[in-house]
């Protein structure tokens, strides 16, 4: 079963493990740093998942954190007011 849910503090370790991957971040230059650190994960969970009206949910598949889906409002020039819809899946679930 697939479930969309809010981020939890307990997601920090798995988020760092899955997100610290250049293949994940290479197309997400405005919203996703590389290397992805624990500090980045703590910020994403506490602030970034909801900042500026963003909507960001964890994707769970049979209880396993397998990715996230989100709508991000870009607020940095020159791309201000652009909304990005992003789906990130763990390597296990994409080619």
Residue 38 has pLDDT above 90, yes or no: yes
Give residue 58's pLDDT band: very low, low, confident or very high (50, 70, 90): very high
4-32: buried (b, 16+ CB within 10 Å) or exposed (e) per residue? eeebeeebbeebbebbbeeebbeeeeebb
47-64: buried (b, 16+ CB within 10 Å) or exposed (e) per residue? ebbeeeebebbbbeeeee
pTM over 0.85: no
Among all chains, which residue has been given the structure tokens 């969970």? 45
Distance between CA atoms of 65 and 75, rounded to whole angstroms? 28
Among all chains, which residue has been given the structure tokens 């703590």? 42
Give residue 95's pLDDT band: very low, low, confident or very high (50, 70, 90): low
């Amino acid at each position: 079963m697939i479930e969309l849910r809010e981020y939890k503090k307990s997601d920090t370790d798995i988020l760092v493990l899955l997100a610290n991957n250049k293949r994940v971040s290479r197309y997400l230059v405005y919203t996703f740093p590389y290397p992805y650190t624990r500090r980045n994960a703590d910020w994403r969970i506490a602030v970034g998942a909801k900042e500026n009206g963003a909507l960001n949910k964890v994707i769970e598949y049979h209880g396993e954190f397998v990715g996230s889906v989100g709508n991000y409002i870009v607020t940095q020039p020159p791309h201000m007011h652009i909304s990005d819809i992003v789906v990130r899946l763990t390597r296990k679930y994409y080619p």
